[in-house]
Amino acid sequence: MRPFLTAAPLAAAALLLGGCLAERTPLPGAPTFYERLDAASVTVDPAAAASMITGYRANKGLTAVTVDPALNALAQEQANAMARADKVDHTIRGTGSFETRITRSGYDAEIAVENIGAGYRTLAEAFSGWRDSPSHNKNMLRAGVTRLGIATAYSPKSKYKVYWSLVLAKPAERRQEGPSAGPMLPVDGSTTVTFGGAVVR
């Protein structure tokens, strides 16, 4: 069973997925969806994640997502922080909330959402876990997002071993009227953040 946290309000308790995926070792040249990531020398393949999530979104009539190095860095910061703390949470001491982190990074976005998780050993497992969780699935199917960043961090002595962060965003269009209003947290306290306009739930 794979533990994960939702991106919904009060996401403080780990949930367990019903069912386990069988262990498998990919053959040489096989897709990296099934590559085991519970080793220090291996990290998730962002291009494979973008391909997988784009295919899923396309089946729902939504836009493709492409890898954004700035969002990869943001995701890596959070995965590393969770691995160090041995904790799955959107707000880790020393790094701050998702709103704080994306604002500090200087990334200008109209929409930005984050999924986190832990315990998944492969990209396929993480994707399945997020897809089967309503709040995480809502983020992966967020209308308008076009960019993606994803990262893992391995901590062999921690409870879950592999920690995950996925950030999806729509970069802000350049505007003449001046700076945006900045990031806004939804009033329900969720970690879905929208920028410069009405909150989208």
168-184 per-position pLDDT tens digit: 999 988 643 444 444 43
Q: What is the model's pLDDT at position 73?
A: 96
Q: How far apart are CA 117 and CA 152, in angstroms?
A: 9
Confidence band, pLDDT 50/70/90 cuts, at residue 127: very high
- Cβ atoms of 162 and 154 within 8 Å: the answer is yes
Identify the residue with better confidence: 16 or 61.
Answer: 61
Cβ proximity of 165 and 123 under 8 Å: no
**Entry pTM:** 0.74
| Total domains, the chain | 1
The pLDDT score that the predictor gives to residue 84 is: 92
52 in any annotated domain? yes
In a domain, 113, yes or no: yes
Residue 30: the pLDDT is: 53
CA 87 – CA 2 distance, rounded (Å): 15
Query: In this structure, what are the phi and psi dihedrals at residue 184, rounded to the nearest 5 degrees?
Result: -130, 130
pLDDT of residue 128: 92
Residue 178 lies in a domain: no
- Decide if 145 is inside a domain: yes
pLDDT per residue as tens digits for the range 8-49: 222 322 332 222 233 334 445 556 766 666 767 778 889 999
Mean pLDDT of the chain: 75
24 three-class SS: coil
d(Cα 84, Cα 154) in Å, to the nearest integer? 9
> What DSSP string runs through 103-156?
HHHT--EEEEEEEEEES--SHHHHHHHHHTSHHHHHHHT-TT--EEEEEEEE-T
Task: Tell me the two tokens of residue 109.
Answer: 């976005």
Q: Is the dihedral of CA 56, 57, 61, 63 positive or negative?
A: negative
CATH number at residue 93: 3.40.33.10
High-pLDDT (> 90) share of the chain, %: 51
> pLDDT band at residue 191, thresholds of 50, 70 and 90?
very low
Cβ-count burial 33-58 (b if 16+ within 10 Å, e if not): bbbebbeeeebbbbebbbbbbbebbe
With respect to residue 14, please indicate whether it lies within any of the assigned structural domains.
no
Q: pLDDT for 135-159, tens place per residue?
A: 999 999 999 999 999 999 999 888 8
Q: What is the residue range of 148's domain?
A: 33-170
Residue 193 inside a domain? The answer is no
Q: What is the pLDDT of residues 102-120, one digit of tens each?
A: 999 999 999 999 999 999 9
Residue that has been written with the tokens 């291996």 in this structure? 42
